[in-house]
Amino acid sequence: MKKTVTSAYDVAEHLRTPEEMALYLDACIEEANGDAAFIAKALGDIARARGMAQVASDSGLSRESLYKALSGERVPSFDTILKVTRALGVKLHASV
């Protein structure tokens, strides 16, 4: 019997347009259930899709600190989130 070969799935490889990135972030916010690290990880996925070096440059943060902050293993400061969203061109808004 032939063995099935699989490869790791990386969502960043599939986020090609700003619209796809925004929809992905919206879906992650919806599913996060208050988990800020989950949302930070989604921002990290988008940043990797855009190019982490460019996002670091645009946000004024180091690439290494972005990888750590957006790893999903910690909760970054809101200031960091705002810098990243601004660098990504993503706007946060509230609705009822």
pLDDT tens column, 42-76 = 999 999 999 999 999 999 999 999 999 999 999 99
Tell me if 59 is assigned to some domain. yes
Q: Return the HEC string of the chain.
A: CCCCCCCCCCHHHHCCCHHHHHHHHHHHHHHHCCCHHHHHHHHHHHHHHHCHHHHHHHHCCCHHHHHHHCCCCCCCCHHHHHHHHHHHCCCCCCCC
Tell me if 10 is assigned to some domain. no
Tell me if 75 is assigned to some domain. yes
Tell me if 5 is assigned to some domain. no
| Structural domain span for residue 37 | 17-88
How many domains, the chain? 1
Tell me if 21 is assigned to some domain. yes
Tell me if 41 is assigned to some domain. yes
| C-alpha torsion sign, points 36, 41, 47, 52 | positive
Q: What pTM value is reported for the model?
A: 0.88
Tell me if 28 is assigned to some domain. yes
Tell me if 93 is assigned to some domain. no
